[in-house]
C-alpha cells in the first residue's frame, strides 16, 4: 500500500495516442489508485492546446517547439524553448505538492525536463527508460546531448526503471548500473485457449511501424510470403508509399485500417502467424546494443493471442533469448530466404508442436499482466 501523501506526476511526450509507449504508461496509470496520480505532463498538439481533465487524470500540455524546428536549428531552438517549459513544470510541481516525478524516455527533452525540475524542486525523480539512451541515439543529431543526460541520470543513484531484463543486463554489464525492469503490460484478464487451426487467414501479421530497426527483417519475411502464396498484413501506422520507398514490392501485402484495441486483438487471433523481427547490426544504422535489447511492445499481445509467433533476429538478442527460454515461438536466426521459407512451411505441419508453443506463450504472458507490473512499481515507491 502506497502512502496517501505520495503524489506522482508523469512526464511523457506521448500520452493518449497510439504510440506503444503511451499505451504502457496509460496502463500503469490506470492501474494505480487515482489519489496518488497528480497528473500527466505531455506534448500539446498546438500552441492553443489547453490543459484538460480526462476521467480522474489531469493532463497538462506543453507546446514542444522543437517538433517544428529544422534539425539544423534544433540545438538553438531547444535553448529558447526549454526554460519556458521547465518553468511551467516546476509551477505544477509546487502547486500540486508533487512528491515523485516519473520521467518517461524515449523523448530526450521530456526526460531532461523531468530530471531538471526534480533537481530544482527537490522531489524524487524516477526515470523510466523505454529504450537505451546513448546507444539508441548514437546515430542521430542528439548523440552528444544523450551522453550528457545519461551521465547526469546515472551519477545521481536514482532508482531507474527500464523496459526489459535485456536493458537491465546491458546497463549492469556496460555501466555497472542497477536498474529495475518495469516491463510491457496488457490490462485484460485472459482466458487461456488451445491452439485452433480453424478459421484463420492465410496471412502473416506484423504489428507496429516498419523502420530502421526492422525493415530488412520484414522485407525478407515478405519475400518468403510471396513464394509461399501468403499475405503479409501490416498495421495501419505503415503507408504503402513509405513501404515502397524502403524496397518492398506491392505484392501480397495488406495494410489494415486503424483499429481500436478490441478489434486489434480480434484481428491478430485470426492470423496464420504473428511476426516479430529485429535487424542484424550490419543492416541497421542503430547501435548493436540498442538492437540487442529491444523487446517490442506488441510481443505481449502476441503472447495472449493463441496464434503461432515467428521471431526473426540474431540468436544473441534478448528477444530471441526470451522466446528460446520460454519455448513459446519459432525462432529464425538464419537470413537465407530459402532456409526461412522451408522453416515457415514446416511450422504449420506439426499441430502438436503448435499447441505446445501456444500453451507456453500463455504461461509466459503472466509476467506482463498489469497487476504484476503495478506491484513492481508500487514496491519501489
Query: pLDDT tens-digit profile of 16-67?
Result: 776 777 888 999 999 999 889 999 999 887 767 788 888 888 999 987 655 5
Grid cell at residue 83: 526554460
Assigned architecture for domain 203-367: 3-Layer(aba) Sandwich (3.40)
CB 235 within 8 A of CB 207: yes
Provide the pLDDT for residue 368: 96
Tens digits of residue pLDDT in 87-132: 999 999 999 999 999 999 999 989 999 999 999 999 999 999 999 9
Q: Which residues contact 20 (CB under 8 A, 6 or more apart)?
A: 208, 296, 297, 298
H or E element at residue 372: helix 370-380
Q: If you count them, how many residues does the chain have? A: 381
Burial tier of 12 (Cβ tally within 10 Å: 0-12, 13-18, 19+): buried
Instruction: Determine the CATH number of domain 8-182.
Output: 3.40.50.2000
Residue with cell 529485429: 278
Phi, psi of 305 (to 5 degrees): -85, -25
Q: Where in the chain is the domain with CATH 3.40.50.2000?
A: 8-182, 203-367
Predicted TM-score (pTM) of the model is 0.91
H or E element at residue 104: strand 100-105
Confidence of residue 381 (pLDDT cuts 50, 70, 90): confident
Grid cell at residue 70: 529544422
Phi, psi of 309 (to 5 degrees): -115, 125
Helix intervals (H) in 215-333: 215-228, 240-245, 261-268, 288-293, 298-303, 318-326
* Cα R_g (the chain), whole angstroms: 21
Tens digits of residue pLDDT in 80-94: 678 888 999 999 999
In the DSSP assignment, the letter for residue 255 is E
H or E element at residue 53: strand 52-54
Grid cell at residue 232: 503479409
Provide the pLDDT for residue 67: 52
Secondary structure of 190-224 as H, E, C letters: CCCCCCCCCCCCCEEEECCCCCCCCHHHHHHHHHH
Measured CA distances, 203 to 129, 200, 275, 293, 375 (Å): 34, 8, 10, 28, 37
Q: Which of 356, 345, 220, 360 is nearest to 272 (CA)?
A: 345
CB 373 within 8 A of CB 28: yes
Please state, in angstroms and rounded to a whole number, the distance separating the CA atoms of residues 286 and 183.
Answer: 22
Least confident of 102-111, 128-137, 151-160, 255-264: 151-160
Instruction: Put the strands of the sheet holding 330-332 in their side by side order.
Output: 253-255, 231-234, 203-206, 273-277, 309-312, 330-332
Amino acid at each position: 500500500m502506497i502512502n496517501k501523501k505520495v503524489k506522482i506526476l508523469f512526464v511523457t511526450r506521448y500520452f493518449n495516442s497510439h504510440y506503444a509507449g503511451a499505451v504502457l504508461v496509460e496502463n500503469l496509470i490506470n492501474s494505480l489508485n487515482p489519489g496518488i496520480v497528480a497528473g500527466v505532463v505531455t506534448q500539446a498538439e498546438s500552441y492553443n492546446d489547453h490543459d484538460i481533465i480526462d476521467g480522474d487524470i489531469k493532463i497538462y500540455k506543453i507546446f514542444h517547439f522543437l517538433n517544428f524546428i529544422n534539425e539544423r536549428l534544433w540545438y538553438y531552438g531547444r535553448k529558447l524553448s526549454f526554460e519556458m517549459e521547465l518553468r511551467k513544470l516546476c509551477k505544477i510541481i509546487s502547486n500540486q505538492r508533487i512528491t515523485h516525478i516519473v520521467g518517461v524516455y524515449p523523448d530526450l527533452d521530456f526526460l531532461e525536463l523531468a530530471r531538471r525540475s526534480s533537481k530544482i524542486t527537490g522531489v524524487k525523480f524516477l526515470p523510466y527508460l523505454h529504450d537505451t539512451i546513448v546507444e539508441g541515439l548514437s546515430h542521430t543529431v542528439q548523440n552528444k546531448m544523450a551522453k550528457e543526460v545519461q551521465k547526469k541520470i546515472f551519477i545521481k543513484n536514482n532508482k531507474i526503471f527500464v523496459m526489459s531484463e535485456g536493458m537491465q543486463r546491458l546497463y549492469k554489464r556496460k555501466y555497472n548500473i542497477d536498474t529495475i525492469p518495469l516491463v510491457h503490460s496488457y490490462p485484460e484478464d485472459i482466458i487461456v485457449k488451445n491452439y485452433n487451426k480453424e478459421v484463420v487467414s492465410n496471412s502473416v501479421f506484423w504489428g507496429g511501424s516498419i523502420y530502421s530497426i526492422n525493415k530488412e527483417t520484414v522485407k525478407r519475411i515478405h519475400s518468403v510470403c510471396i513464394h509461399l502464396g501468403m499475405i503479409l498484413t501490416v498495421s495501419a501506422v505503415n503507408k504503402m508509399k513509405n513501404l515502397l520507398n524502403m524496397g518492398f514490392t506491392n505484392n501480397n501485402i495488406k495494410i489494415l485500417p486503424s483499429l481500436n484495441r478490441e478489434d486489434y486483438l480480434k484481428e491478430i487471433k485470426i492470423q496464420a502467424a504473428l511476426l516479430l523481427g529485429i535487424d542484424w547490426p550490419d543492416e541497421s544504422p542503430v547501435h548493436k546494443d540498442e538492437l540487442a535489447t529491444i523487446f517490442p511492445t506488441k510481443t505481449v499481445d502476441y503472447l495472449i493471442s493463441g496464434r503461432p509467433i515467428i521471431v526473426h533476429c540474431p540468436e544473441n538478442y534478448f528477444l530471441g533469448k526470451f522466446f528460446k527460454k520460454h519455448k513459446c515461438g519459432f525462432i529464425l536466426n538464419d537470413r537465407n530466404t530459402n532456409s526461412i521459407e522451408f522453416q515457415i512451411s514446416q511450422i504449420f505441419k506439426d499441430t502438436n508442436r503448435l499447441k505446445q508453443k501456444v500453451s507456453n506463450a500463455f504461461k509466459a504472458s503472466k509476467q506482463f499482466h498489469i497487476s504484476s507490473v503495478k506491484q513492481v512499481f508500487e514496491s519501489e515507491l
